[in-house]
A and B are shown apart, each in its own frame.
Chain A
Amino acid sequence: MTYPQVELENVSVRFGEHEALTDVSLSLRARRTAVIGSNGSGKSTFARLLNGLTLPTAGRVRVHGLDPARQARELRRRVGFIFSNPDAQIVMPTPVEDVAFSLRGSGLVRAEVQRRTTDALARYGLSAHAEKPAHSLSGGQKQLLALCAVLIREPLLVVADEPTAFLDAANARRIRDLLLEDMPQPLVLVTHDLAMAARCDEVIRFEEGRVVEQGEPDAVIAGYERALA
């Protein structure tokens, strides 16, 4: 069993006048961690810190011992990131090319890239769509493709920022099961879906750029629901 190695010490993130995170200190100690909270509470900013997409204005971030500010390239090799909008994650015209793109620069020979790509597409039920225009896929298929393109790099940690936000119920369930049940990697999941958060091992709740609760899913979700009432 592997765990995410994430440490934040007194981290603040400021965008102009707006402070997205204020003096956040935490460490992740469960294999699957859900991050919940209202819109604008700092969840996505926290997630982006873990891949170096956003850098802290103050404080210290370490992910698998790496400093995102100085070791972003190495960090991104170890941390896969799934965005909510699958359209913005597809960079090649067809699924087979998009998944193979993830292995560019990996040093693998062409035949091996092809073999891994074919296997990965089959695993996610995308073989029949491998050569079709990627943007003609359904929302669920696009998100599966995004997931496939991330996981083929075999990251040590997967960060997913509202991965089911654009999906219908059936596709959301499929992505949910893949992330929470099938995927062996540790997961940091930003979500508004409290049922999904409840299936994680730990939940962190953000409000107004601060961590207000971290602990067992039932207790943190109950606290959030009380706050909403």
Chain B
Amino acid sequence: MIALYRNGTSPLHRMPAGVKMLALMLFALALGVGMNGLWSLAAASAAVVLCYLLAGFGLGELGRQLVAVRWLVLVMVVMQSLFLTATEATVNTGRVVLVVVLAALVTLTTRTGDMLDAVERLLAPLRRFGVNPAKVGLLLSLTITTIPVVAGFATGIRDAQRARGVPPRPTRLAVPLLVASLRHADDLADSLAARGVE
């Protein structure tokens, strides 16, 4: 499921969503431009561990998040090992993993609504260029909400194909999934209109 927020009263839970998102951006920036060695990677890793402990989730949750990105790690390590030294491959992969698990911590400690409010506030200056922050926020929210629905369609279509003795293949899934998703988009548009969203 995409909605990952877990109730809590830790300092990270209480911290405003905008501050957390900004801190995450700065952390990613610092990792990208200012930290190149194994020592700085170790320091950044320690900071991430500390954040998980501060949020009250402990190392078990951090472990679960790391397991979730195992395939990303594998692909990155393999690809980079072909062209870079072992240290460079480790540092580059480590950077990405740290940003991903820290982003996961932000979603674990922030309600989606608060995050969307923060996105809207951050985008407010772009209003003068024709950007509608409320619509961008709604778009993000709908994306998050719709992912499990589309996953449910895929499961239903695969089950229907199996029930008819048709071996499921990605090519057989694509068209019915697209049709179901478009139909859902139509229904969702009606529902938004009925709730007064223009």
Contacts and interface: CB of A to CB of B under 8 A. Distances in A.
Interface string B135-160: 00010011011001100100000000
Nearest to B141: A92
Interface residues of A, number: 35
A139 to B, nearest CB: 12
Interface stretch (A118-126, A128-136, A220-228): A128-136
A135 B148 contact: yes
A83 interface: yes
Contact of A92 (B145, B152, B184, B198): B145
A206 to B, nearest CB: 20
Given A51-B194, A73-B196, A91-B191, A135 B142 contact: no
A81 B194 CA distance: 6
A145 interface: no
A79 to B, nearest CB: 8
Contact of A88 (B2, B7, B184): B184
A88 B1 contact: no
B190 A53 contact: yes
Interface stretch (A18-26, A29-37, A93-101, A181-189): A93-101
Contacts of A51: 193-194
Given A87-B184, A88-B187, A94-B3, A102 B148 contact: no
Nearest to A83: B191
B196 A76 contact: yes
Contacts of A136: 1, 148
A142 to B, nearest CB: 11
B113 A97 contact: yes
Contacts of A48: 190
B19 to A, nearest CB: 17
Contacts of A94: 3, 5, 111-112
Interface in B169-198: 184, 187-188, 190-196, 198
* A-B pairs with lowest CB-CB distance, top 4: A88-B187, A93-B3, A81-B194, A133-B3
Contacts of A92: 112-113, 141, 145
Interface of A: 48, 51-53, 72-73, 76-77, 80-81, 83, 85, 87-94, 96-97, 100-102, 105, 131-136, 149-150, 153
14 contacts: A73-B198, A76-B193, A83-B191, A85-B187, A87-B152, A88-B184, A88-B190, A88-B191, A91-B142, A94-B111, A97-B111, A97-B112, A133-B2, A135-B1
A228 to B, nearest CB: 29
Interface centre among A80, A93, A100, A149 (most CB of B within 10 A): A93
Nearest to A74: B196
Contacts of B111: 94, 96-97
Nearest to A86: B191
Given A87-B149, A131-B5, A134-B3, A93 B191 contact: no
Nearest to B194: A81
B45 to A, nearest CB: 30
